[in-house]
Every structure is written in structure tokens, then in C-alpha cells.
Amino acid sequence: MAQTLRVNGHEHVVDVEGSTPLLWVIRDVIGMTGTKFSCGIAQCGACTVHLDGNPVRSCVLPVSSVGNREVTTIEAIGATDSGKRIQDAWLAVDVVQCGYCQSGQIMSATALLKRTPNPTDADIDAAMSGNICRCATYVRIRAAIRQAATGKIVVTQAIPVAAIGGRK
């Protein structure tokens, strides 16, 4: 069944079943591969996109439920003020390790800054709690969000190896 989707400001007519997850339409039909598939059950956040500015998990969102709302993906988030600040801070703080989860992390962080321009640590933790980073870059993620919010350089502190049960 043909439907029209607005993705990153452009209309796309897609011929898919209404139950098809938005993720597969974005990746396989439209050809934007920045949004990632990981768990497939909306638990990891790698597939996060914005639907009218709100973060949603595209791996479980049926395309029929999108309607005429605007979908924004990682490919376009840098064109927004909060998205650009988050992406710049991500690079400055050197958040990325393997990078697989980063598009979802950036999408969630951008939505947080748009809704809460000066978030507390509790705000950051709540907004990012649905995003899993297997490389455990959470300290750098929080620092990048703080830096994007304040414009001030945030220094992260390394955890001594002995403190986590390593060498003595």
C-alpha cells in the first residue's frame, strides 16, 4: 500500500505494508542507513529517530502510525541548533568508540536539549536511559551533553584501573 512519508523535510512515496517498521522503510526503501538496527524490540535505542521532534524507536513503530508527522533521522539532525551542538560536542569530547549506537544516542541527546536546554545529571540520565552503549562511553556521553548545553569544555576523569578490579 503506497503511503507518503515526510523524512528530513522531503516527501517519499513508499509502497510497503502498514505494519512494516519505520526503521526498515528508512533504511531499505528510502536508503538512509544512518539509523541502526540492533535489538529489534525497542530496548537499546540504536534505531532512535524523531517523530515531530520526539524520540521514538523506529524498529517497532509501524509505518502506518507515522501519518503526516515529520520524521527526522541522524542524516539531518545536524541542521538543527541542538543537533549541531550535540554533534560538535560529541566530537570535541571524543565520545565515539565503536560508533554503532551513536546515531541513536545523538538523537536522544538532541531531543533532550531541545526540551530541556540546561539539563541536570538526573535529566540526562532519564533521557538517555533507553540508549545502550556496549562500549560503556556513558561518562563521555554525559560530558558531551553538558558541553553542548553550556558551551563550556567538560573534562572527564578516568577511573583508575585498580578501582574497577584491575591491576594493583
What are the 10-residue block averages of pLDDT along the chain, 168 residues in total? Answer: 96 97 98 97 97 98 97 98 97 93 97 97 96 94 97 74 53
Residues 131/45, Cβ–Cβ less than 8 Å:
yes
Strand duo 2-7 + 70-72: pairing: parallel
Which grid cell sits at 148? 553542548
> What pLDDT does 155 receive?
77
> What pLDDT does 55 receive?
98
Question: How many CB atoms within 10 Å of residue 138?
Answer: 16
Task: Find where cell 543537533 sits.
Answer: 83
> What pLDDT does 37 receive?
97
Question: Which strand (E) or helix (H) includes residue 86?
Answer: helix 81-93
Q: Which amino acid is at 6?
A: R
> What pLDDT does 117 receive?
97
Structural Rg of the chain based on CA atoms: 17
**Whole-angstrom Cα distance, residue 25 to residue 128?**
25
Question: How many CB atoms within 10 Å of residue 102?
Answer: 24
> What pLDDT does 131 receive?
96
**Whole-angstrom Cα distance, residue 49 to residue 160?**
36
What are the strands, taking DSSP E only, across 8-167? 10-15, 48-51, 54-57, 70-72
**Whole-angstrom Cα distance, residue 40 to residue 6?**
23
